[in-house]
Amino acid sequence: MEIDYITNQDKECREYIDFYNKMSTKDVDNNKTNKDLKQIIIDGLKDEVYFKTKELLKTIDSMEIVDNYLIKALDIVGEKYDKGNIFLPQLIRSAETVKISFDLIKEKLKEEGRNKISKGKIILATVKGDVHDIGKNIVKILLENYGFDIIDLGKDVDIKEIVNTVIKEDIKLVGLSALMTTTVKSMEETIREIKKYKPKCSIMVGGAVLNEEYSKMIKANYYCKDAKEAVNVAKEIFKV
Ligand code: B12
């Protein structure tokens, strides 16, 4: 249509104006891009991510959106960053974009009451010194979706705060996340302190920097490659 007014076939841009006059502001926002949700996150388009997530939530299950779009987009962003194809500002932009999508999904799950019945209480935290919380937040969404009650202590969490909450809430399962080689040290320390005060408390760990072997070295009870494995561990611990 743009070509018509550029070539003066659409005199005084009447067709163009008519076309957009009929649209609501929302439609115009929706129409800003034809990109899919994955690409929108990769490109860090914050307005578009809101509309596209809302649109997908009408027809696709929330967890399918997490698995098929959000995690896949983050994997691609991570790879691009690793290879030096994008830099920190773009990385932050994508991380902020994906958060908008996650917040909408959380809202939807709440509305559906899919996180109401408690099958057991679990603490989640990203360890001291580490601000990467996207993975931990996915684990949280999935566990809540399966009916577990999550005490989310957030990111960069003090060891003392974790230990005190474990004792106060009589916790049977703690999930710790670490994404950096430097912060797996504080994960190890956190595990040691929890075990000192509550030896029977089980600890599952995750984060791209870990593997099964390393998790054994730091005395975690379970290593989870992804959020789905966290659900299996929780089911085993709470026998549900
Ligand atoms: C997004 C991102 C950021 C975002 C984080 C936003 C946020 N709110 O989380 C921002 C831009 C803030 C950031 C900052 C930094 N980052 Co960064 N970041 C990443 C990136 C690209 C993706 C991480 C991610 O979210 N992945 C997607 C999620 C879904 O995956 P995941 O966390 O692994 O989670 C899954 C599983 O591992 C598992 N899981 C994870 N946690 C848990 C916990 C439990 C209990 C269970 C059961 C399972 C589980 O389940 C999840 C879902 O399936 C990675 C690169 C990469 N390829 O991993 C670098 C990366 C982790 N960052 C890195 C670095 C160095 C930094 C900075 C120091 C950069 C800087 N120069 O300032 C700072 C760190 C500041 C700090 N003190 O923490 C390095 C770490 C290097 C290392 N080996 O130590 C990486 C590997 C990039 C690189 N190659 O250099 N980062």
- Is the domain spanning 121-238 CATH 3.40.50.280? The answer is yes
What is Dmax (Cα atoms) for the chain? Answer: 80
Ligand 1 atom nearest the C-alpha of 91 is 11
Q: Domain spanning 32-111: which superfamily?
A: Methionine synthase domain (1.10.1240.10)
CA geometry: angle 2, 27, 92, nearest 5 deg: 95
Alpha-helical segments (H) within the chain:
2-6, 14-21, 25-30, 37-43, 46-57, 62-65, 71-83, 88-111, 134-145, 159-169, 184-197, 212-217, 227-238
Q: What is the pTM of this model?
A: 0.78
In short, whether 170's Cβ falls inside 6 Å of ligand 1 is no
Q: Is 132 in the pocket of ligand 1 (CB under 6 A)?
A: yes
Domain parsing of the chain, residue ranges: 32-111, 121-238
Check if 181 has its Cβ closer than 6 Å to any atom of ligand 1: yes
The CA 179 to ligand 1 mean position distance, Å, reads 5
Q: Tell me the CA–centroid distance for residue 12 and ligand 1, in Å.
A: 52
Q: What is the pLDDT along the chain (240 residues), one digit of tens a residue?
A: 666 767 778 777 777 777 766 655 454 454 456 889 999 999 999 999 999 999 999 999 988 898 889 888 988 988 898 899 998 888 888 988 988 998 899 888 888 876 556 789 999 999 999 999 999 998 998 888 777 999 999 999 999 999 999 999 999 999 999 999 999 999 999 999 999 999 999 999 999 999 999 999 999 999 999 888 999 999 999 987
Q: What is the pLDDT of residue 31?
A: 46
User: CA-CA distance, 2 to 36, in Å (whole number)?
Assistant: 23
- Residue 206 is predicted with a pLDDT of 98
> What is the atom index within ligand 1 of the atom nearest the CA of 209?
83
Q: Whose CA is nearest to atom 12 of ligand 1?
A: 92
* pLDDT confidence of residue 115: 56
